[in-house]
Structure 1
Amino acid sequence: MVDRHGTAAHGMTAANAALSCYTSAVLAYLAEEDTDALARVAHCTRLALQPAPPGPPAFRHHATALDRLPDGTALRPTGAKRLEMALEALAKEIEAHGRVLFTADAARLPWTPPGQEPAPHFLMATDRRDDGQWYLHDHFSGLFPNGHEQLPFEGWVSATDMAALFTADDHFSTVQRRRSHEVFGHFVPAPPMGTHQWFTRRPTEDTGAEPEDGVWITDPHSVSDYLVEHLNAVCVQTGAPAVLEDLWAASRHHQYKYRYFLASPGPGPSQEQKQALHRALSCWSGLPKTLRFAVNSARRGRPRTSLINTALRDLAEAETQARTFLGQEDKEHLWPVTTPSMTTSDEQHSATQNTRPCAQARTA
């Protein structure tokens, strides 16, 4: 086992990565065995979307499948209708592998700030006591639009709290369930609705391959064009557009990615390359706030189409340049990948279609 927090040479860890709740939990799980997990997440961060009119598009955030473990197994979701059966399964996973990922309800976490809406949230459990207490890890931290901040949590929770937060998934939305399908960067089937869900490890050859179900847009400019059109169409509707949450997650992933490469030891990028990486980092950092401001303004009768257009198209330019310097391609690939040489290379396009639409340390 490696350091529990997956410490990298430049001080970045799974505990301070500031990723989305899904990816922070997956990274923490991987980092227990995979010494390259931090690099793996940085290398594979890539935004892809699949149009799904009339609803919001589906999103993928990783070009490398994050479900693979060094021992030849892969993580797969499973579930049980009865809470008692699900809890026993968690305990067996801990006994076999030292930890287990499971799906909780973000609104029912004892440490969550007030005002949180129900949503699937990944946690890692590493121990269970005879009295029913569980030792849990939540590596996620973030500031919500209502001004409340959620901080990471590590510690024991009571049997009562565990039963409350480890809910069945039948109250989650269709959009939320789709996000769970794509958590590893490719589609994985979910257990039946109405079940308590967790992840087991299976031999890779037994996991099967799910057929692709349509076109995924991966080129940054094509992604930008689609999002501009979609946001300008839906920003005046009641309720926050679903894509704001997905783009917030993408922002977190890309901030992690560019900070990782800028802080990596070794010769590092040239001054020109640093400028490109910093520009992409800045664009991604400011995107969620800009889009939320534009959406709120549109609801007050003052559409700011130009603000949405400029933010997303500037981002596409910055992302294209930064990815070129990193030698990153649009295609999906297996891990490990070649370490970026930081030399300029042309973007390669794969069989994936790129269409430009009119669119506390533990205590006893």
Structure 2
Amino acid sequence: MNIKAIRSQFPILEEKIHGKPLVYFDNGATTQKPLSVIQRVNDYYSKENANIHRGVHTLSQEATTAYENARNTIQEYLGAKQSHEILFTKGTTDSINLVAFSFGELLNADDEVIISAMEHHSNIVPWQMLCERKGCKLRVIPMNEKGELELDVYDTLLSEKTKLVAVTHISNALGTVNNVEHIIEKAHAVGAKVLIDGAQSIQHIKVNVQDLGCDFYAFSGHKLFGPTGIGVLYGKEEILNQMPPYQGGGDMIKEVTLEKTTYNELPHKFEAGTPNIAGGIGLGTAFEFLNSLNMEDVLKHEQELLNYATEELSKIEGIQFYGEAEEKTSVISFLIDGLHPYDVGTLLDKMGIAVRTGHHCTQPIMDQFGIPGTIRASFALYNTKEEIDLFIAALNRIIPILQD
């Protein structure tokens, strides 16, 4: 890949932080936006701003077309059968909550839901709430000390009581790439549905939902170079048709009287109210940006960054890595003996380097390792080895200061 040409599309990478060139290693939290996305959102508000699906006037028709074209772009990228299997949401969290509430209404007391020990809080709490509401049982796939799921134990957790399995494709805290194909195959063998949290995967690897065979796939726009406040839930048509609406309001209805309401067809049944129109259109443009890339080249480049950073960090005395799975992507979580991650992150920021510190909304992972949190460096396609060199140099300067 021509990294220089790619970086030129991201204006924020030219910014300086505290007088130093920005080194942005917090891509697991959110990615930066290319000019094409920024301009597309600006163009919507400058030239097309109108509400969608309701108006007969020109602006409304143009905005509706742009919004639905974005849905079609995402459908094609994901390999979904139908565009109405693509639901626009606020993000991964909203997508998971939609399934937990709506699919959850189909569950009964003593049904079981399986999650894993490495889930983001957004893929834990909604299922706990569901189990409290419906009397279901929550079961957990354990994780070993390398940060890998114990799939042999998972196989024993499955039974005819299992109705849904919800797991992350790639861990946001550890970078572990889970064998979701195995998870899906085994769940389907007992009649269970599967939701994959793709918040950390779709920007790194090519995803085809039909090849995976998952029943639901959730992700956020802002983690794949798109706007904030927009996300997607893919769901198989036959399952979505069985599920009751998540919210009531405009656009999700077919007919309303004071006595009774009938609901709209997919996808509108799950998209009540005026949506984030600019966000949806901008997300479509982000997928067009992804379409301009070879995702195999992206994965290769990011793997080189991961290997190089791991090698260089390993030279630092007292470093401890968390998440050493055989299959992992461009995330490194670590601690340095005697140093608080917050202090390290604060001083790195003074040198223009953005990393994430804390528990990364994965407290159960941190509890298993017996630590309060980690320093996390997460890379994207626009990062370089030269930035990693700056990162290592900054750490080598910071460590003596904090150890004094």
Greater relative CO, 1 or 2 (CA 8 Å, sep 6+): 2
Higher helix share: 2
Which structure would you say has the larger Rg? 2
- TM-score, normalisation: structure 1: 0.29
